[in-house]
Structure 1
Amino acid sequence: MASFRKRGDLQWQARIARKGYPAQVKTFNTKSEAEAWARDIERDMDRGGFISRVEAESTTLKACIDRYTREVSAQKRGYQKEIYLANIWSALPLASRFMSSIRSSDIASLRDDWLKTLKPATVLRRIAFISHVFTIARKEWRMESITNPVALIRKPQPNNARSRRLDDHALQSTKGIGANELDTVIAASQSDLLPTIVVLAIETAMRRGEIADMQWEHVDLKRRFVHLPETKNGSSRDVPLSPKAITVLERLQQSSGPVFNLRSDAITRAFDRARQRARKLYEVRCEEQGIESDKRFLMDLRFHDLRHEATSRLASIFPLHELTKITGHKDPRMLMRYYHPRAEDLALKLK
């Protein structure tokens, strides 16, 4: 049965104590509001459909984000990325509000503000993160009374599919730099390890993180494969090594430990620095020889484009069912996002 107690001059506290249910307590500005709330709670109890709102009404979004990073994000391979997203959400004024008070309109407003300056794919990642926080809170943290506000809003539609292939045309008119984009980046590298990493990426189609995590005990040069015990999709796989990949690994061969001892982001930074140096050198050579530079050459090349290039090359050797085992794609539709055959290569197959 509900009881009501006046707290000071401006507040009323309602309390419901019923056998078999946790005590329900909430404070209101007026007694009529407290009585209406109590009637709703008791009605749900009578019908057997009562769900406690205590946790959702007393836990802030930030508290849930902190718990999520400790219990959920810490178990993921992408832990650092999730910490970055968690920090973004925790810094928002919305984070100080209770979970029960957050509405879909709050998330939609943030979405619209972010889309003014950020790419749809970036906004979608932020929204997906907080959506899972709400899902876990509902399923595991006794907050069944809340709805997931992200489920009700329109999601940004990312348009980030890439079909970037390496430029393999020889740059005969610009002597003094590499013969193509890949050779040019390797030549401009000031790292002892980056050339080997680039060759492995283009020869194996391995992801950046998979290359960074390689261990010598998983590399079998005699049988020509590297074992990846843990990958992005949660499965292990064996990646065959080409003769060129074998050659570059033999130069580094050790008995145990990490092959490169580098973080994934360090690989990206080293590659981008080499790309920028190569582009500047290319422009200088063009100017010295009095020819116009190709504005597209090396301008938007990313390390991950090497996986696209490698997949497209391997597709001319292996059938689809074997290619998926090499690249680690469980869904052939995702694999097709990485396969970009050149029209001239396809034309050569026509009789």
Structure 2
Amino acid sequence: MATITPREDNRGVRIGWQAKIRQKGYPSQSKTFRTKAQAENWAKVTESEMVRGTFIDRKDAESTTLKEALDRYSEEVIPRKKAGNRELGFIHQWAERPIARLSLARIRSKDVVAAISEMESEGKAPKTIKLHLGVLSHLFNVAGSEWGMESLTNPVQKAQGRQPKLPQGRDRRLVGDEEHRLLDACGKAQTPWLLPVVTFAIETGMRAGEMLETKGTTRADGERPIHSTGLLLKNVNIENRTAHLPQTKNGEARTVPLSSRAIEVIQGLPRSMTDRVFDTTYEAIHLSFARACKRAAIEDLRFHDLRHEATSRFFEKGLNPVQVAAITGHKTLQMLKRYTHLKAEDLAILLG
């Protein structure tokens, strides 16, 4: 049975109405409203849900702020995600936004839309915004399915129509003598690892995180360091010319065939005191690569473009989409559709 009582401040001035419900088989529920009518309506709806057996306790969702949820997500979810450390930057930024002060139950699609507008005004690219939203959306899904907050709806999904559209995928390839200039500049870098890493990337199509150690933390406050190890020596089979990747971005292990040039790279590496093939980090290579591009006067080239270059070359060598996907780890053939133009001229010749 519900009881409705007035709430007063320390001066005796009425500031609202509190509804309390005690129902057998359910934890007691209470909530304060500005008007008595609002309190009575909430009590009526809640009691009806209890009678029908459809009531879901909203206390946790109403008392947990997004900031607190982000910390819990960092503690419990990030460590079990293959590329979770990449999401830590997004978590940090969500924790600094006004929306982080709201309880999960209070966050609506309009709040997500406001956050999207903030990010756009800050000059964030559509893909970056999408990645931010992906983290927030997954947090709400986890809160509903694992944290007992079944009453939550996902405000990110409801704001789907306001999410930015992604531009056409990058199609940056090495042109002219860029490969020669790039490798020459890499060979002159202070770190002896840049040239073999870049060459290996072009030969295998591996992601940077699959080749190199990546450091990070699992919490929004910077505690609990984690890292991915990159390619390990024990997972390279020179005789079979393969490199096994037990952990990848999409969560599926794969074994990458190695070209003769890739084998030469491994055999010519400096002696390492660790169990990694490349005794360096993603962060170090990222900086060195940018400097090498500047020395070589190569504009608008990112390290990840080397994966696109490698994938394109696989098609140019005559491999079909299924074979390429087995090497690169693309989860669907649709992801490789952008590369099919490379085969058009060959198909025309076959058609006669």
TM-score by length of 1: 0.85
1:264 aligns with 2:282: yes
Identity of aligned residues (%): 42
Correspondence 1:143 to 2:160: no
Q: Distance in 2 between matches of 1:181 and 1:341?
A: 24
Query: Which of the pair has more CA radius of gyration?
Result: 1
CA distance in structure 2 between the aligned counterparts of 1:304 and 1:237, rounded to whole angstroms = 19
Aligned to 1:336: 337
Cα distance in structure 2, aligned partners of 1:63 and 1:194: 40
Contact 2:4 2:19 in 1 (8 A): yes
* Aligned-residue RMSD, C-alpha: 2.5
Whether the 8 Å contact between 2:205 and 2:306 is mirrored in structure 1 is yes
Counterpart of 2:321 in structure 1 is: 320
Contact 1:14–1:25, Cα closer than 8 Å, also in 2: yes
Alignment map for 1:100-179 (pairs within 5 Å): 100-116=105-121, 117-153=123-159, 154=161, 155-167=163-175, 169-170=176-177
Asked if 1:63 corresponds to 2:75, the answer is no
Whether contact under 8 Å (2:70, 2:91) holds in the other structure is yes
Distance between the aligned counterparts of 2:195 and 2:301, measured in 1?
Answer: 16
- Aligned pair in 2 of structure 1 residues 56, 270: CA closer, same or farther (>3 Å)? same
Unaligned stretches of 5+ residues in structure 2? 213-229
The question of 1:201 aligning with 2:201 is answered: yes
CA distance in 2, matches of 1:120, 1:81: 17
Structure 1 runs of 4+ with >4 Å offset: 253-256, 342-351
Q: How far does the alpha carbon of each residue in 1:228-265 deviate from its partner, in whole angstroms, 9 at most, with x for none?
A: 11111112111111111111211226696011232223
Tell me whether 1:227 sits opposite 2:233 in the alignment. no
The question of whether the paired residues in 1 share the 8 Å contact of 2:108 and 2:155 is answered with yes
Q: C-alpha offsets along residues 46-79 of structure 1, whole Å, 9 cap, x if unaligned? A: 2332222212221111111111111111211322
For residues 146-176 of structure 1, the C-alpha deviation after alignment (integer angstroms, 9 at most, x for no partner) is 2111111112111150111111x34xxxxxx
Tell me, in whole angstroms, the C-alpha distance in 1 between the residues paired with 2:259 and 2:146: 47
Question: Structure 1 pair 36/215, CA: closer, same or farther in 2 (3 Å)?
Answer: same
CA 1:210–1:120: 2 relative to 1, 3 Å = same
Q: Structure 1 unaligned runs (5+)?
A: 171-177, 280-297
* 1:18-29 matched pairs, under 5 angstroms: 18-29=23-34
* CA positional deviation for 1:193: 0.6
Distance in 1 separating the partners of 2:285 and 2:273: 23
Report the number of matched residues. Answer: 325
- One-letter amino acid of the structure 2 residue matched with residue 262 of structure 1: T
* Gap change, CA 1:305 and 1:345, over 3 Å in 2: farther
Distance 2:282 2:246 in 1: 17
Give the TM-score, by structure 2 length.
0.84
